[in-house]
């Protein structure tokens, strides 16, 4: 696989993940425009990446997408740590399914952050 193809594929994957995060926050209709505004690109560019119609991606755009994903993962990690603190403060059993799921979510977020 050529370097340009790998970079385009990576950018497309980043856009799809970011659209999923943004869709959960504000709905699918606004997700594309919000993401485009956040990374400083045109909505059509983001849509082309999402649908796999781009042949090359500018380095600054790929870096902006990667940075945005890292910020999203960090924000989600903060939410999970807060949830863990609430569970601890309310005296939840550490062996409960909620506590176990929370620990698993934290572990998966940390591993995702280390890969980026």
Domain boundaries, the chain: 3-115
Q: Given this model, what pLDDT does residue 20 score?
A: 92
pLDDT band for 2, please (50, 70, 90 cuts).
low
pLDDT band for 3, please (50, 70, 90 cuts).
confident
| C-alpha neighbours within 13 Å on the C-beta side of residue 39 | 32
**3-state class percentages of the chain: helix first, strand second, coil last, to nearest 5:** 80, 0, 20
Q: Given this model, what pLDDT does residue 113 score?
A: 85
* Percent of the chain residues topping a pLDDT of 70: 97
pLDDT value at 1 more than 70: no
pTM of this prediction?
Answer: 0.81
């Amino acid at each position: 696989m050529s370097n340009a193809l790998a970079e385009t594929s990576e950018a497309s994957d980043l856009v799809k993940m970011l659209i999923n995060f943004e869709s959960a926050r504000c709905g699918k209709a606004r997700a594309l425009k919000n993401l485009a505004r956040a990374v400083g690109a045109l909505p059509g560019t983001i849509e082309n990446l999402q649908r796999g119609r781009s042949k090359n991606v500018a380095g600054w755009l790929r870096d902006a997408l990667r940075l945005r994903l890292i910020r999203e993962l960090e924000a989600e990690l903060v939410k999970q740590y807060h949830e863990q603190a609430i569970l601890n403060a309310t005296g939840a059993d550490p062996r409960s399914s909620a506590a176990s799921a929370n620990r698993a979510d934290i572990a998966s977020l940390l591993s995702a952050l280390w890969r980026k």
